[in-house]
Each structure stands twice: as structure tokens, then as C-alpha cells.
Amino acid sequence: MKNQNKAAFFFLLPNFVGFLIFALGPVVVAAGMGFYRYQLASGAPAFIGLDNFADLVLFKKVDGEWVARDPYFWKYLGNTLFLMLNIPLAMVGSLLLAVLLNKELPGRIFFRTLFFIPHLCTGIAIYMVWKMLLTYEPNVGIINGLLWQIFGVLGIAPERAAALLPGWLIDASWAKPALIIMFIWASVGGYNMVLYLAGLQNIPLELYEAAEMDGAGWWSQLVHITVPQLAPTTFFILVTSIIGGLQGGFEAAYVMTGGGPEGSTTTMSYYIYTQAYEQLEVGYAAAISMVLFALIFAATLLNWRYGGKRLEAV
Amino acid sequence: MTRWRQYQSTVLIYAILLLVLSGMVVPLVWTLLTSFKYNVDVTLGWIPPRWTTDNYTGVFRAFSFLRYYANSLFIATAVTVVQVATSALAAYAFARLQFRGRDVLFLGYLSTMMIPADVLMIPQFVLMKKIPEWLNAVLATDFFSGFLYLKSHYIGHPVGLDSFFALIAPGCFSAYGTFMLRQFLLGISREIEEAALIDGCSAWGVFWHVVVPLAKPALGALAIFTFLGRWRAFLWPLIMTDSDSMMVLPVGLAKLSDLYVNDYGLICAGSVLMLVPMIAVFVFFQRWFISGIQLGAVKG
């Protein structure tokens, strides 16, 4: 075929201009900004070499003990990883729901549609709702309301029951579990379930027929056929969820907890937000974002190395 | 399996599905019901003892909610139209045209897909903060830090913070959209296109009369994703807007829940107003939506 340079130029031009200004340009600038002390409020950037990165990840000796130069960074990285616990839990749920919905049952489209709605709605509006649902007072927050009823049925005295109720968003040790529960609710019936459903369609029926003849039960078929056959889908979901999880948590923290109590729900993305747009320390924030990028890059490499170039099952 | 056992397992499956379903919809039903309650009735069970639409009128009275709605609708629509157009054009070039540097350029596009939004957003923020000064200096004017009005309505600065330019322009380009449409085009047959080329159709003619009609499902899926993504976008509009008139719906809602922390009915009404259009779009275009998810998952 003849060379189509000229036509290609015009087809690409509008997109390429955007690509330069809003993707390639910013990523080059961001990589550079990490090497500057740049406070947007107080003037010009000053080159400081690797200082931002050193301040971020290195440790120093104080009174004979090693402490992080930026203790917040490690704490918030820990928070981010902890909150990612929702990923494996939600994945198991998505897989099981997909298996149930894969049967030729009347109404399966109805269920699939409604299961998807929490994921669809995820965002500020839903986080506002969950903030109310997770209110401590059992007459207001319906989750503690439900627990209160259960405690009543179990015959637990009201004073003791009140002490047993979790302080969800106001208690530093309950805030992360609260968010994990919410994230599971929001993701279990969403994209991942749809991907699993698509993956299930591609498993040859003969495998199940053969297993049935061998007398394999429901559980055995799930473990020995379904799960291994879905491995590529699972891998894809896991990697994309890790990439998303490392960047996640900003909106929930902003609306529900303000990153608290005691910084227990501040994630990397919320830390970047406070540094860049509240403190206007854009140099330091760029450095944090590059560290985050490095973690995500590692997850992506894992995908290329072990995931294969193409996800055949989907 | 015997008939009886099959029957049993069907009942069990429905029971589990219904249980999960109720867990999924309870928060949404609660929101809807609470939005019709007087605030003093919030603690009195689920069903409003007295129904009221005060919360809905209250949302519009307490805030420029109509303005937030209009802003969100305008921004989401503009971004969707432009992004789908630029992505389709580029996807066609990548999927069908032979040109120098194609594979290198496409690899460049792909690699920007794994760069976190947080990384890109900081330089974009600085750019938007500085761009009015720069343009004013270069063009020796003060137009770019001025205010624009449509009749008597404030419509922000021309560029930079608090401008429709800042809220729309960065969304008009998407590596993901380009990638997804290219995947779709690679999957459809070239026969009609080649016949059209032999008949003397230009590249543009092939694109417009053959490719676009064939790619409708993928274009539709991308349009829905883009629209919903912009409708719910929060962080970028949050850092890009100062004035109340330029706020979008999610930012306005966050402000609402900040200022009226204890007014549950009002907050629920605000949530409902934000969610209903999303659910409607999803239910209407579900088929495209689901196939689009599967298309986007085929990573190259």
C-alpha cells in the first residue's frame, strides 16, 4: 500500500496536540519538578537535586534510633496498602457472583444490571451517603442500627452493646475497615464481575461435561475447572486493581474522613493533594507522585512479564 | 442431576442473589427514602412518616444547584464530543494507515496510559495557574486574566483557573479512548473499506462513510464512559474552580455536605439528583456499556 503520511498527519493532528500538551509535556515536567523546591505561593523553583526524594524515603538517626525523615510518607503508604485489602475480598465475591449469574436463569440480566449500579454510582454522592450510613449513633447510622438490633436479639445489655458498637469513621482503628467494607460494596458487582462473566463464556462446556461424568461436584468443578480457566482474567483484574488501588482513596478521604482520624485514612493520593493543592508545595508533591508512579510501573512490569501480551480470555 | 435437586439448587441460587441484591440496594433505597423526610423524622424508621419534597426545593434554594447542573452537563457533553472525535480520527490512523513512526508513536500513547493521573495533574495545575500571565505577557494584553460574561451570567476567565477552558481542554485527548477504538477497528473486516478505496474514495471518505458507521458500538461505549467519567470527576474541577458559578455538581455536593453536615434529607436529595442521570444513562445504553468494558480490557 502507498505511503499515507499526509493523510495520517491530519487524522492524528487534533489528538496529538492534546497528547503533547496534556500527557507527554506534563510527564516530562513532573519528572523534572521532583528535583526542585517549588512553592507555588512563594516564587521561583530552586534546583535541589535529589533532596525531595531523600526527604521522602530515607531515614535519619535521632537519639540513636532510626526514624523516617518524612514519617507521614511511610504511614500513608501503609494506609494505601492496607486499604487495598478490599481487592482480594471483592475479587472472590465478583467471581462467585459471576458463577451464579452464568446460569441460564430468568432474570439474570436484571440482577447483573442492579449489581452494577453501586460501581456505577461510586463517587462523591455515594461517599456522602456512606458517611451517613456509618454514623456511630445507632438511631441514625443504619449499619450500627442493624448491629444494635442483633445485640438486642442476643440479649446483650444496652450499656454493653453501646460499648461494642464500632466507631467506624471516628475511631482510628475502625476507619480503614469501614472504608474497605464500602469499597467491597462498590466494586463487587462492577467491572470485575462483568469481566468474569465474559471469561466464563469462553470456558469450553466439554470440560464440565467430562467432570460431571467423573462425578465431580459443584465445588470440585469450581476449584479444578472454573478458577484455573479464569486465571488470565483474574490476573488482569488483580493487576488493574492494584494499579487503581495505589492511586485510590482520595475522594473517600476527602468527603468522609478528611484523611483522619489521626491520619488513618490518608492515602498517597490524598497526601499528594494536601501537599500540591493545599500547601502548594508542588515540587515535593511531584516527587511523591513520581514515587507512586514507580510503584505502579512495577505492577505494570509484572503484568507484562507474567500476564502475557494479550488477555485471550476476555 | 435429578429434577428435584436441580429445583433445589435454583431456589438456593435465587436466595443468594436476592440476599446480595438487598445488600447492594439498601444504601440506595435508604438515600431515596431519606430524601423525602423532614430532618426531625430521619431517626424514625425507614419509611418517611410524613412525605415532603422540601429537601429537593431546599437544595436549589440553598445553592446555585441549577448552575452546577448546567456546568456539569455542558462540560461532560463538550468533552465527550471532542474526545470521541479526536480518538476516532487517531484510532483510524493507527489501525489502518501506513505512515512513518507509527509504531513508535503508538507505543508512546500506550505508555502514557499507565502514568497515574496524580503525576499529570500537578504540572497541569501549574500550567493552568500560570497560563493567563504568560499569554498576557506574550500578547501584551490583559484579556486572559479578565472576566467573561454571557448576558449577565459569569462564565469564568478565558483560560487558567476558573475557566471552562481548564475544565474541558485536558479531557479532550485520551490515550485510552484512542487505544480502545483502535482495538475495535483492528477487529473488524477491511473488505468494505478496501472496496471503497478502489472506487476512488479518499481516506477521509472511507473514514466518514464506512468506518464511523461500522464503529458505532465502540464509539457509543467510549461516549458513555467519557460522559459518566466527566459527570463524576471531582479532583480536577475541585482544584480548578474558585468561584461558585464555575463549580460542577460533585464539587457543589461536597460543599453541601460540608455546610449542612446534619441535614441528612438535604444531602440525600443532592445525591439523588446527581445519581439519577447516571443510572438512566447506564440503563438505556447497557449493551454498549458492557461490550465496551470487555473491549477496554483487551490490553495490547
- State whether B97 and A26 contact (CB < 8 Å): no
Residue A201 lies in domain: 55-312
**CB < 8 Å to A269, chain B:** 118
H/E segment holding residue B3: helix B3-34
Distance from CA of B43 to the nearest CA of A (A): 5
Q: Is A76 inside a domain boundary? A: yes
* Residue B166: closest C-alpha in chain A: A22
Domain of A169: which CATH number? 1.10.3720.10
Q: Is A310 on the interface with B (CB under 8 A)?
A: yes
- Which of A159-163, A173-177, A257-261 has the largest mean confidence? A173-177
Percent of chain A predicted with pLDDT > 90: 40
DSSP state of A274: I
Tell me whether A211 touches chain B (CB under 8 Å): no
pLDDT given at position A45: 87
Contact with chain B for residue A42, Cβ under 8 A: no
Q: Which three cell numbers stand for residue A91?
A: 475479587
Query: For an interface test with B, which of A9, A12, A17, A148 has the most B Cβ atoms less than 10 Å from its Cβ?
Result: A12
B215: closest CA of chain A, how far (Å): 16
Of A114, A273, A303, the CB nearest to B21: A114
Instruction: List A residues 93-112 in contact with B (Cβ-Cβ < 8 A).
Output: 97, 100-101, 103, 105, 111
pLDDT band, residue A226 (cuts 50/70/90): very high
Question: Distance between CA atoms of A310 and A312, rounded to whole angstroms?
Answer: 6
Query: Would you list the domain boundaries of chain B?
Result: 73-247+281-299
Reported confidence tier of residue A307, pLDDT bands at 50, 70, 90: low
Please check whether residue A8 touches B, CB under 8 A.
yes
Cell numbers placing A109: 440480566
Looking at residue A118, its pLDDT comes to 93
Distance from CA of A2 to the nearest CA of B (A): 8
Instruction: Give a yes or no: residue A94 inside a domain.
Output: yes
* Run of H or E residues at A36: strand A36-37
Strand locations in chain B, DSSP E?
Answer: 149-150, 153-154
**B245: closest CA of chain A, how far (Å):** 19
User: For residue B292, what is its C-alpha cell?
Assistant: 465496551
Report CB contact under 8 Å: B27, A2.
no
Mean pLDDT to the nearest integer, A65-80? 90
Shortest Cα distance, chain A CAs vs residue B51, angstroms: 18
What's the structural domain count of chain A?
1
Distance in Å, alpha carbon of B281 to nearest chain A alpha carbon: 10
pLDDT of residue B64: 87
Nearest by CB to A30, from B42, B119, B275: name it: B119
Cell representation of residue A141: 447510622
User: How far away is chain B from the Cα of A167, in angstroms, using its nearest Cα?
Assistant: 18
Q: Is A178 on the interface with B (CB under 8 A)?
A: no
pLDDT in tens, chain B (300 residues): 567 877 888 888 899 999 999 999 999 999 999 999 988 888 777 888 889 988 999 888 888 889 999 999 999 999 999 999 999 999 999 998 888 888 899 988 888 888 888 899 999 999 998 888 888 889 988 888 888 888 888 888 888 889 999 999 998 888 889 988 998 888 888 888 888 888 888 888 889 988 898 888 889 889 988 999 999 999 999 999 988 889 999 999 998 888 888 889 999 999 999 999 999 988 888 878 777 777 766 543
> Could you tell me the sign of the dihedral formed by the alpha carbons of A76, A77, A78, A84, in that order?
positive
Q: What pLDDT score was predicted for residue B242? A: 87
Inter-chain touch A30–B125, beta carbons under 8 Å: no
Residue A6 lies in a domain: no
Residue A237 has pLDDT above 80, yes or no: yes
CB-based burial, A111-127: b 16+ in 10 Å, e otherwise = bbbbbbbbbbbbbbbbb
Cβ-based contacts of A101 with chain B (< 8 Å): 17
Report CB contact under 8 Å: B123, A29: yes
- Determine, yes or no, domain membership for A230: yes
Instruction: For residue A218, list chain B residues with Cβ-Cβ distance below 8 A.
Output: 9
- Fill in the amino acid letter for A243: I
- The answer to whether the Cβ–Cβ distance between B122 and A286 falls below 8 Å is yes
Q: In chain A, positions 215-234, which contact chain B (CB-CB < 8 Å)? A: 218
A304 touches chain B (CB under 8 A): no
Size of interface A-B (CB pairs under 8 A): 251
In one-letter notation, the amino acid at residue A129 is: V
The mean of the pLDDT values for chain A is: 88
- The average pLDDT across A110-133 equals 91
CA atoms of A295 and A301, how far apart (whole Å): 10
Asked, for residue A143, whether it belongs to a domain, the answer is: yes
- Give the separation between CA A24 and CA B83, rounded to whole angstroms: 17
Average pLDDT over residues A84-94: 95
pLDDT at position A313 is: 37
Spatial contact of A34 and A287, defined as CB atoms under 8 Å apart: yes
Residue A29, in any domain of the structure? no
**Does residue A69 fall inside a structural domain?**
yes
Contact A150/B at CB under 8 A: no
* The pLDDT of residue A99: 92
State yes or no: pLDDT of A312 exceeds 50: no
Distance from CA of A220 to the nearest CA of B (A): 16
Say if residue A160's pLDDT is above 60: yes
- Burial (CB count within 10 angstroms: exposed 0-12, middle 13-18, buried 19+), residue A19: buried
Burial (CB count <10 Å: 0-12, 13-18, 19+), residue B110: middle
Query: What 3-state DSSP class applies to B156?
Result: strand
Please give the backbone phi and psi of residue B60, each rounded to the nearest 5 degrees, phi first. Answer: -75, -30
- Closest CB from B34, B92, B293 relative to A191: B293
CATH match of B73-247+281-299 with 1.10.3720.10: yes
Which residues on chain B are in Cβ contact (under 8 Å) with A16?
Answer: 90
* Cα–Cα distance for residue pair B114/B117, rounded to 1 Å: 9
Indicate yes or no: CB of A15 within 8 angstroms of CB of B16. Answer: no
Q: Read off the pLDDT of residues A165-211 as tens digits, 9 standing for 90 and up.
A: 888 999 999 999 999 999 999 999 888 998 999 889 888 888 988 98
ipTM: 0.88
pLDDT score of B300:
34
Burial of residue B102 (CB within 10 Å: 0-12, 13-18, 19+) is: middle
Contacts of A2 in chain B (CB under 8 A): 98
Is residue A62 pLDDT above 70, yes or no? Answer: yes
Contact between B172 and A4 using a beta-carbon 8 Å cutoff: no
Its pTM stands at: 0.89
Cβ distance B123 to A124 less than 8 Å, yes or no, reads no
Cell readout for A192 is: 470485575
Contact yes or no for B93 and A22 at CB 8 A: no
A275: nearest Cα among B250, B125, B255:
B125
Q: Is residue A46 part of a domain?
A: no
Assigned C-alpha cell, A76: 500513608
